[in-house]
Structure 1
Amino acid sequence: MKAQTTPRIKICGLKTAATIQQMDGLPFHDIGFIFAASKRQVLPAQAAELIAAVHGLKAADGQRPQTVGVFVNPALAELSETLAIAPLDVVQLHGSETPAFCQMVREQLAVKVWKVFSIRDEAAVQSEKVTDRGSGANTSASADEAAARLAPYAGKVDAVLIDTAGGGTGKAFNWQVIEDYKAAEAQLKVPLYVAGGLNPDNVQELLASYAPSGLDVSSGVETDGVKDIDKIRLFVRKVMQR
């Protein structure tokens, strides 16, 4: 039997160094800062201080976590100016960024690029089957859509992430589409992160049913809109105990 691989864990939307310091020793992999308009938004100077705190952590495998900046349709100049202040490891693009733009960011700014694909309601609940006229085989319409969306980004991104449309909603999409995106992601040979409505109560169900290679949690480890270190620890523990 093939050994079960531990998924990568990303904790997103951090805003205080105190919480970051409390995460020392937890076996997570990535820590996210939101630069797009949001109640969790941080400015570059603030992010620089938080990144400095991250560099003092030991996380999964005794390594420091990667720092990830979340942006929506940024200009290249904006990213360049931000990175000059806040030295991120990864730029996560959450808008309508093209494959060419992703490649340009990787090459000109020397950072990893993750591309987010929003799962629309109509795609999430779609169970209709379409027939491949060439082979007569039945294939899922959502599988075709997933392949068409991801294929242009092959060789241009370092990971893909699927999230509930709108992002930061705290709501999960219909997880049935995950298998379609896993198949498409396998062609890109990069990790697939799942976000949207994850929390300590449902993450083991997700892992048991779909086993994505990465998890991205934000509001699910908050209390009254503030990151809760006890919930962060519980989330990580639930992942490790799956």
Structure 2
Amino acid sequence: MRKIKICGLFRDCDIDYVNEAMPDFIGFVFAKSRRQVSGGWAEAMRPRLRSEITPVGVFVNQPLAKVARLLNDNIIEMAQLHGAENENYIQQLKTLTNKPIIKAVRVLSQQDIESAQHTAADFLLLDNGTGGTGESFDWSLVSKEKKRQQQQQQKQKQKQKPFFLAGGLTADNLEQAIAATSPYAVDLSSGVETDGMKDRDKILEIVRRMRNG
């Protein structure tokens, strides 16, 4: 069963919505964004979040010490890197924490997906840009890359990194997106919002579809 992440929670009631819906992951955005939250708010919300839901912190080119502290203080359980963090940054972060790392990839071509397979990060997040734009990328690039890797696996036993699919996902296109890309998880933010705020009914509906689909 595909997993689901609801990203960009920034109000107390958003925690109530996800506790009711029970996605697999939620995202706290610590980078500059209209959904940005403070470490203090996330720390206060963490005990309220159901233990079955994994909190992910979203960062853009932020100091290693800040990311590691939020991970090691158990405010978040995974770090999602959405900036220009290179392999050196990821390797250093891995020396500071044993928690999983997601590296976001801006997908403009199949080569972007192929190049990202060599990262030390545990997961990829395939998106059209820096996140939160509400626009999707060309999903056929994922299937092309999967075919390439299947051919490579026969020669080198190379395995594709598990990935979160993000960018423009809504209840209307979710089934199509999953069929086209076979992701480890789907990641929604603006697709479960109304007028820029998380919408309880949309969150419940999207998780219901994922669980029953």
TM-score, with length taken from structure 1: 0.77
Which amino acid counterpart does residue 208 of structure 2 have in structure 1?
Answer: R
Give, in angstroms, the shift of residue 218 of structure 1: 0.2
Larger Rg: 1
Q: Which residue of 1 aligns with 2:118?
A: 152
User: Are 1:234 and 2:205 counterparts?
Assistant: yes
User: Are 1:88 and 2:76 counterparts?
Assistant: yes
- In structure 2, the residue corresponding to 1:233 is in which secondary structure? helix
User: Are 1:172 and 2:140 counterparts?
Assistant: no
Alignment of 1:80-229 (within 5 A): 80-83=68-71, 87-120=75-108, 123=109, 142=110, 144-147=111-114, 149-153=115-119, 156-182=120-146, 187-188=158-159, 190-229=161-200
Greater shift, 74-83 or 27-36, is seen at: 74-83
Alignment gaps of 5+ in structure 1: 1-5, 58-62, 124-141
| Alignment partners' CA distance in 2, 1:145 and 1:190 | 13
Give yes or no for contact 2:82–2:130 (8 Å, CA) kept in 1.
no
Give yes or no for contact 1:93–1:115 (8 Å, CA) kept in 2.
yes
- In structure 2, the residue corresponding to 1:24 is in which secondary structure? helix
Give yes or no for contact 2:57–2:78 (8 Å, CA) kept in 1.
yes
CA-to-aligned-CA distance 1:91-129 (integer Å, 9 cap, x gap): 100112112221221221232111010123xx3xxxxxx
Which amino acid counterpart does residue 123 of structure 2 have in structure 1?
Answer: A
Give yes or no for contact 1:34–1:42 (8 Å, CA) kept in 2.
yes
Give, in angstroms, the shift of residue 64 of structure 1: 1.1
Which amino acid counterpart does residue 10 of structure 2 have in structure 1?
Answer: K
User: Are 1:40 and 2:35 counterparts?
Assistant: yes
Alignment gaps of 5+ in structure 2: none
Give, in angstroms, the shift of residue 13 of structure 1: 0.2
| Alignment partners' CA distance in 2, 1:91 and 1:166 | 15
CA-to-aligned-CA distance 1:53-111 (integer Å, 9 cap, x gap): 11xx2xxxxx6111100001122123234446662100100112112221221221232
Q: Which residue of 1 aligns with 2:63?
A: 75
Which amino acid counterpart does residue 50 of structure 1 have in structure 2?
Answer: M
| Alignment partners' CA distance in 1, 2:94 and 2:47 | 23
CA-to-aligned-CA distance 1:193-240 (integer Å, 9 cap, x gap): 100000111101112333212100000000100001100011112222
After superposition, the Cα gap between the structure-2 partners of 1:188 and 1:37, relative to the gap in structure 1 and judged at 3 Å, is farther
User: What is the number of equivalent residue pairs in this alignment?
Assistant: 206
| Alignment partners' CA distance in 2, 1:181 and 1:93 | 22
Which residue, 58, 62, 65 being the options, matches 2:53? 65
Greater shift, 226-235 or 206-215, is seen at: 206-215
Which amino acid counterpart does residue 39 of structure 1 have in structure 2?
Answer: R
User: Are 1:31 and 2:26 counterparts?
Assistant: yes
TM-score, with length taken from structure 2: 0.87
Give yes or no for contact 1:16–1:50 (8 Å, CA) kept in 2.
no
| Alignment partners' CA distance in 2, 1:145 and 1:71 | 20
User: Are 1:14 and 2:9 counterparts?
Assistant: yes
Structure 1 vs Structure 2 CA RMSD: 2.2
After superposition, the Cα gap between the structure-2 partners of 1:88 and 1:47, relative to the gap in structure 1 and judged at 3 Å, is same
